[in-house]
Structure 1
Amino acid sequence: MNSADLGRRVGVPSTALFTDQYELTMVQAALKAGTADRRSVFEVFTRRLPEGRRYGVVAGTGRVLDAVENFHFDDEMLAFLRDRRVVDDATADWLAGYRFGGDIWGYPEGEVYFPGSPLLRVEGSFAECVLLETVILSILNHDSAIAAAASRMSAAAGGRRLIEMGARRTHELSAVASARAAYVGGFHTTSDLAAGFRYNIPTVGTSAHAFTLLHDSERDAFRAQVESQGRGTSLLVDTYDVAEAVRTAVEVAGPELGAVRIDSGDLLLVAHRVRQQLDELGATETKIVVTSDLDEYAIASLAAAPVDSYGVGTQLVTGSGHPTCSMVYKLVARAGSADPADPLVPVVKKSLGAKSSRGGRKWAARRLDGDGVAEAEVVGTGKFVADPALRELQVELVKGGEVVAREPLEAARERHVAARAGLPLSAMQLSRGEPVIPTEYV
C-alpha cells in the first residue's frame, strides 16, 4: 500500500494540490515567457543538521516516488484553480496534461546524510520539476526527522525492542508516515493499525488503564484480558499498586505471562523491583515493557535496568525536539532551452550569511578509511570518477517519468543498520556535537 492509496482513501485523488500556490504561478509566468521548457536540475539538501545532531537519516523516499507517480490534476482540481484564479486558462490546460517525465536520482532510503549532501536530484523541464518542490520537501523533511530520532533511540536501546506508539500525539495521516519512518530508523513494531495495513509493519497493543478501571477489580480486568488474548499477553500493572498488580498478574496468567507494562513512576527503580518480584514468583521469562514520555536520553538512562522493550510516542513523532530537517529544493543548473544538446549552466542564489549554496549538478560519495569506516562526505560536480576509497551514494530512482527503484520497506531498514554501522563510533554519542564526518567539496 502506498501514499497514493492513502490519498484516495481520504478522498484526495492525487498529490497535485499538496503544494504551494507559487509553484503554479511560476509555471504560468514561465509558460508566458517561453522558459518553462528549459532543461533544469533541482537538488534537495540541507545546509546544516539540527542542532547537536551528528548525522541525518534519509526517510520518505518511497513515499516521494508514490507522490511523484500520483501527481496529476483532475477536472475538479482544475476547476478549483480556475475559480480561484490561481492560474489562467492556458496554464490550467497545460496542467491538465501534466505527468512528470524527467529523471530523479538520490540517496536510497535508510542511508545517512550530512550538510550539503545532494539527497535528491530532480531533472527535467523547469515547469515539470518546480511543481514537485513542496510535496517532496513535505515528505522528506517530516520523515527524515522522525527517522533520525528513531535511529538515535535505536542506538540508545542497544538492541532492545522499540514500539512506536505516537498516533495519539500527531495528525492522523502524519501518524502513519511517522510509524513508517520510525521503522526505517530502527523501531520494531507500531501500535498504529493504518501503518500496519499500508506498509506491513508489525503491530502490537493490548490494553490501557481504562480497561482496568472498567472492571470491578484489577483481577477481573486481568482475567478478562488473559481469557481473550492468552497467557502471552502484556498486562498493564501501574493503575493502582504495582507490586500487588504484578502478584495478581502472575496468579491469573501463571508464570507463562508474556509481559508486564509500566507506564509511570521512577522507571529505573520500578523496573528493578518488578524484575525481582517476577523472578521470585517464578515468572522468569516474563518481559518488562516501559512507556511514559520516553526519548533517547531516557532510554539511555535505563540501559542498566532489566527492561526488554520501550514504547515511545510523543518524542518520536515530534522528532525528539527537531520536527524538521530544514531541507531545501534549489535550482542548481539549467540550460538555455529544452534541447538535450544545450549545455547545463550552474546557477546559484546569491545570499548573505548561512543561506548560501553551491551551483552545479552534483554527485556524492563517502570516503572510507582502511577499515571501511566513513571519513568524509565528498560532493562534486562534473563526472564522477570511480575510486576504491569512495562509495558512490546516489542511485537512479525515476527514469523518463517511470519509477525504477521501488523496494520493500525492509530493505530501507536494513540499509540504515549498515549505514549507521559504517560511521565512526562517536556518531552514537547522544551529547551535542558537530556532524561526525565533514563534507568536502571537490
Structure 2
Amino acid sequence: MSRPRTAGPAMRIDRYELTMLSSFVEDGSVGNRAVFEAFARRLPSGRRYGVLGGLGRLLPLIEDFRFDAEETAWLLEVGAITPATADYLRDFRFTGRISAYREGETWFPGSPVLTVEGTLGEGVVLETLVLSVLNHDSAIASAASRMTTAAAGRPLIEMGSRRTHEDAAISVARAAYVAGFDSTSNLAAGYLYGIPTVGTAAHAFTLAHHDEKEAFSSQVAAHGPGTTLLVDTYDIARGIRTAVEVAGPELGAIRIDSGDLDVEARRARVLLDELGATRTRITVTSDLDEYVLAALAQAPIDGYGVGTRVATGSGHPTAGMVYKLVAIADSPDGPLRPVAKKAAGKVSAGGRKTAYRVHDEHGTAVTEGFVLGDAGELPGRPLQLVVAEAGRTLHNPTLRQVREHHAAAVAALPAEARLLTDGGPALTATEARDGELT
C-alpha cells in the first residue's frame, strides 16, 4: 500500500474559495483591501452565552498557511485553479492583520470574534480554516463551560478521546481545559499543551485477571495505594471491600461507571467510611453532562469524568459561526466601503467593527456594543486585540492564562447567564455608532 499524502493547513479548505480566488486573480481585484469577520448570528437554542475557543490553534495554522509545489500542481491538474492563480499561490503568505476576542472570552449574537484585514485574496482563502477551528473548539468550550459551572468546584476530567476523531480528541481536551476542566486522559494533549493527564483502568483490566483481588493487587503493586480502582465490574459493594482490603485505608480513589450514580455514590461513601477509608475519593463517570452534574450536586462525589457529552455533538450544539466580507476597497490603496448580506434570516452588519462591553459598578457585564472602524475612546471594556500583524502571531498567552481569562469572563456575566435552564442571550448588542471606516 502506498503511503498516503499529507496536507498542510492551506489544503484544508473548501474548493469554492479557490473558485473565487481564481476569479479575483483573473479580474485583477485579488490585491484590493478587504475586511472579513467571523461571528454567529444566534446562540444555540436555550444557550445564554458562547465561549471563544481555538484561537491559539488557529493563529499558527494561518502563519503556516502556504501551498507547496506538489499541492499547487495538483490543484492545477484537477482544475481547481487557473494557471495565473497557480503562480499567485506559489508565493502565497498571509501578510495581513488579525484582531480577535481573547480565547476563552464569552460571545453573543453578532459579536465580531475575529476580524481579518488584508487583501481580498488573503481573506477569502481563510474562511474554511477559520470556521473549522473556531466552530469546533468554541462548541466544545461552550459546553465545557456549562459543565464547569454545574460541577461547582469539583474536579472534571476530560475523557472523550474514544468518542471522536483521533486529532479532534486533542483539540477537545484543549478546549475543555480552557473552559475549566482540570485534566484530560489524552496523552497527546498533555504532551503538546501541558494539560495535566490522569488515567485509571478499564473493565478489561479486571476481566483479564481471575478476580478483582488479583486485578487490584496488580494495579496497586504498579502504582501504589494512591491509585484509583474501578469497582463496578461485578458488584460495587464487593468491589469496594476488595479495593480497601488490597490497598488499605490509604486507597486514593474509587471509580464508579454504572448504575444510579447518586445512589451508588452515597452507598459507597458510607461503606468506605465504615472500612476506615475516610479519605478515599469517589469519582464517577458514565454519560455525564451539565444536567446530570447539577443533579448530582448533593451526592458525596469528589470528581467527575466526562467523555461522550463533551467530545461529541450530543453535548455541544454547533457554535454556528460564519465568516463574511464586511468591507472592500476598489483598489489596493483605496478607501474601504462597507458591504453586507441582506437575505432574509441571514442579515449581517457591514463595516469593520470595534467591540466593547459595558460593566456596572459591581463589575457585572450589562451590554455589548460596537462602533464602525476606529472610533477612539470606547464607552466600555475593549474586547478585541491585535493577535497577528503582517502575518506574524503577536498574541501567544499560555493555556493557563487563557483558562484564567475564561473564568474571569464567565464570572463577570449576570448571574442568570450561568443558569442551566433554557434562556436567551445574557447580553444583547447595542446598535453600532458610526465611526471612521479606515
Q: Which is further off, 188-197 or 148-157?
A: 188-197
Residue equivalent to 2:362: 371
AA aligned opposite 1:208? A
User: Is the Cα–Cα contact under 8 Å of residues 291 and 420 in structure 2 kept in the other structure?
Assistant: yes
Q: Which residue of 1 aligns with 2:237?
A: 243
- The question of whether the paired residues in 1 share the 8 Å contact of 2:308 and 2:315 is answered with no
Q: How does 1:31-430 map to 2 (within 5 A)?
A: 31-339=25-333, 342-352=334-344, 354-387=345-378, 390-430=380-420
Identity across aligned pairs (percent)? Answer: 56
CA RMSD after TM alignment? 1.2
Alignment check: 8 A CA contact 1:59 1:181 kept: yes
* Aligned equivalents of 2:429, 2:193: Cα separation in 1: 34
Alignment match, 2:435:
none
Report the equivalent of 2:431. 441
What per-residue deviation string (whole Å, max 9, x for no partner) do you get for residues 276-314 of structure 1?
111111111110000000010000000000111110111
**Alpha-carbon distance in structure 2 between the residues aligned to 1:55 and 1:384:** 26
Distance 2:24 2:248 in 1: 72
Summarize deviations over 1:371-423 as a string: whole Å, max 9, x none: 11000111221333425x61100011111111111121111111000000000
* Cα-to-partner distance string for 1:27-48 (whole Å, 9 max, x where unaligned): 1101111111110000000000
Query: CA contact under 8 A between 2:44 and 2:317: conserved in structure 1?
Result: no
Cα distance between partner residues in 1 of 2:122 and 2:155: 43
Looking at structure 1, the residues matched to 235 and 282 of structure 2 have their Cα atoms a distance apart, in angstroms, of 16
TM-score norm. by structure 2 comes to: 0.96
Q: Do the aligned partners of 1:162 and 1:189 also contact (CA within 8 Å) in 2?
A: yes
Pick which of 378-387 and 395-404 moved more. 378-387
Contact persistence 1:73–1:96 (CA under 8 A): yes
Which whole-Å CA distance do the structure 2 matches of 1:202 and 1:11 have between them? 33
SS across alignment from 1:355:
coil
Give the letter aligned to residue 108 of structure 1. R
Moved more, 195-204 or 55-64: 195-204
Residue 320 of structure 1: how far off its partner (Å): 4.4
Q: Is the 8 A contact 1:48 1:116 kept in 2?
A: yes
Q: Does the CA-based 8 Å contact 2:142-2:316 persist in structure 1?
A: no
Offset from partner CA, 1:166-218 (integer Å, 9 cap, x none): 01101111111111100011101111111111111111102100000010010
* Matched AA of 2:160: G
Query: Which portions of structure 1, spanning 4 or more consecutive aligned residues, are displaced by more than 6 angstroms?
Result: none
Which SS does the other structure have where 2:85 is aligned?
helix
Q: Secondary structure at the match of 1:45?
A: strand
CA distance in 1, matches of 2:82, 2:34: 24
What is the SS of the residue equivalent to 1:441? coil
Q: TM-score, normalised by structure 1?
A: 0.95
* Superposed CA offset, 1:340-379 (max 9, x none): xx21100012211x21111011010011111110001112
Shift of 1:319: 4.9
Secondary structure of 2:386's aligned partner:
strand
Q: Deviations over 1:328-348 (max 9, x none)?
A: 000000111111xx2110001
For residues 63-84 of structure 1, give each alpha carbon's deviation from its aligned partner in whole angstroms, at most 9, with x where no partner exists.
1101101111111211211221
Contact 1:118 1:362 in 2 (8 A): yes
CA distance in 2, matches of 1:320, 1:149: 10
How many residues were matched structurally?
Answer: 429
Residue 15 in structure 1 maps to residue 9 in structure 2: yes
Q: Would you say the 8 A contact 2:104–2:178 is kept in 1?
A: yes
Aligned to 2:255, the other structure's residue is in SS state strand
Query: Deviation of residue 144 (structure 1)?
Result: 0.3
Counterpart of 2:436 in structure 1 is none
Q: State the distance in 1 between where 2:425 and 2:147 align.
A: 18
Long gaps (5+) in structure 1: 1-9
